[in-house]
Structure 1
Amino acid sequence: MLTLLDLNRATLARQHLLIRHKGDMAEVVHRLGGLQAQEPRPPYLGIWARLEGFARDDLHAALHARTLVRATMWRATLHLVTAADFAAFRPVLRPVLAPPRPPTCRPGPAWVASGPS
């Protein structure tokens, strides 16, 4: 029988919070299914807690190289995901994230000149 302690340890291990991972940052982000990145600090803290030897510039380099992407994903909030996960999941999420809506104003310079209707 699985005890509460066993379940706790398994959850921490699956989320790379029991022992820091010694491998690739993109692999960790992929295995987690993305990391919350709504605020500037959470992805840094989240990766630092999970990845041995993480340095701030490592994340900057991964974002610059586009191996990791910071984008609107789950729950319509910003997440840090791998480029491959972004390419796979974003088309599926697009209808939910950007449902068709009627425009709230007329586009173009005429609207600016005349003001709202």
Structure 2
Amino acid sequence: MSEEAAWALIGATVGILGSGIVNWLLQGRQFEHEKTMFDLQHRSASTVKEIFDEMLNHQKFVERSFKALQSRVGGYTDDELRQFLLELGAQKIDKNGEERWYLRSRKDE
């Protein structure tokens, strides 16, 4: 192998390794960014569930109207809020044409 070919091979190898390292670092940063964004999006949903759980576990009020629950949070559609309630173990009832929610675990109260 000639000296020029050896230097070309060394240059290509260094270029490939350098490019690989830079790409690996950039992908690591992108992954951390996406993970942070995912956590922030789901932290908001967790906060909404905590608010609903607190409201539905109140000693005085076994059930709450959907309007009362909805008034405490913003930024979500009605269907998303209903999904959060279902995930908490809440159940919907209709009382005098009003949508009300209670926790199934408190059904006997």
TM-score by length of structure 2 reads: 0.34
TM-score by length of structure 1 reads: 0.33
Largest Rg, 1 or 2: 2
